Amino acid sequence: SQQGEEDPQALSIQEGENATMNCSYKTSINNLQWYRQNSGRGLVHLILIRSNEREKHSGRLRVTLDTSKKSSSLLITASRAADTASYFCAREYTGGFKTIFGAGTRLFVKA
Amino acid sequence: ETGVTQSPTHLIKTRGQQVTLRCSSQSGHNTVSWYQQALGQGPQFIFQYYREEENGRGNFPPRFSGLQFPNYSSELNVNALELDDSALYLCASSLELGLNTEAFFGQGTRLTVV
């Protein structure tokens, strides 16, 4: 599919562990944005990384972008039960500006 | 709070009816995108509006239509509702098309078609 893949589909970890989620894409992007969604409500913006950037941090979150592999990863360090949510990457492709989501990763953090 | 508000939060309609969903963008944002999110899936792009003009459309039939007003608020209209239209409808606003800036989402409208 045009949007690429996200993996894993689901991830279950213990509180305190790190969680890594991956996102791939197929064609050139302007940027890639990561979002969190709790219980089917609105999407909370986490980090935007532009195509000329390789790594960004925000608190316990670290996002990397490898344009040669057309992939990005989101690392959540020292996870908490409150991090339990669905995480989506959204790709803004060049030449169109619309932002395309994948199916997301469901993260479960056990206390 | 993202400053993007959607109304109503929940809605139940009957198959065949028409529905209008509303979105108020974050202040200063002139670009609005609409998404449909079925249960357990990622948001699917419906269309985008920039300065009152449609700027792109996903794989949705013509019975899905939209408007953007001079104050950049927006509407999503769906005619001849089908059961499969039951979903969470999300709008997102961003500052300016092509500026490589974040898109902020509202809390969504949960539409149930019976």
- Could you read off the pLDDT of A9-31 as tens digits, one per residue? 999 999 999 999 999 998 899 99
> In chain B, which residues have their Cβ closer than 8 Å to the Cβ of A43?
43, 90, 92, 105
Contact status of B53 with chain A (Cβ, < 8 Å): no
Contact status of B105 with chain A (Cβ, < 8 Å): yes
CA distance B36 to B56: 15
Question: Residue A65 contacts by C-beta under 8 Å, 6 or more apart in sequence?
Answer: A32, A49, A51, A53, A54, A55, A71, A72
Q: How is residue B96 annotated by DSSP?
A: S
- Could you read off the pLDDT of B13-54 as tens digits, one per residue? 999 999 999 999 988 888 999 999 999 899 999 999 999 999
Other C-beta atoms closer than 10 Å to the C-beta of A16 total 11
CA distance A91 to A29: 7
| Contact criterion met (CB below 8 Å) for B65 and B21 | no
- Name the residue among B39, B104, B108 with its Cβ closest to that of A45: B104
- Could you read off the pLDDT of A21-78 as tens digits, one per residue? 999 998 899 999 999 999 878 899 999 999 999 999 999 999 999 999 999 999 999 9
pLDDT confidence tier of residue A85, bands split at 50, 70 and 90: very high
Inspect the interface and report whether the beta carbons of B55 and A92 lie closer than 8 Å. no
Inspect the interface and report whether the beta carbons of B42 and A88 lie closer than 8 Å. yes
> In chain B, which residues have their Cβ closer than 8 Å to the Cβ of A88?
42-43
Closest C-alpha among B93, B78, B89, B85 to residue B33: B93
Q: How is residue A69 annotated by DSSP?
A: T
| Contact criterion met (CB below 8 Å) for A74 and A46 | yes
CA distance A92 to B45: 12
Q: How far is B98 from chain A (nearest CA, A)?
A: 7
Q: What is the CA radius of gyration of chain B?
A: 13
A-proximal residues of B, 3-32, CB under 8 Å: none
Q: Which secondary structure element, helix H or strand E, spans residue A7, and what is its range?
A: strand A6-7
| Contact criterion met (CB below 8 Å) for A108 and A10 | yes
Inspect the interface and report whether the beta carbons of A99 and B56 lie closer than 8 Å. no
> In chain B, which residues have their Cβ closer than 8 Å to the Cβ of A48?
100-102
Determine if the peptide bond prior to A8 is cis (ω within 30°). Answer: yes
Inspect the interface and report whether the beta carbons of B102 and A48 lie closer than 8 Å. yes
CA distance B79 to A12: 41
Using DSSP's 3-state secondary structure scheme, residue A102 falls into coil
pLDDT confidence tier of residue A99, bands split at 50, 70 and 90: confident
Question: Residue A39 contacts by C-beta under 8 Å, 6 or more apart in sequence?
Answer: none
- Could you read off the pLDDT of B52-70 as tens digits, one per residue? 999 889 999 999 999 999 9
Could you identify the residue written with the tokens 């959204």?
A90
Q: How is residue A42 annotated by DSSP?
A: P
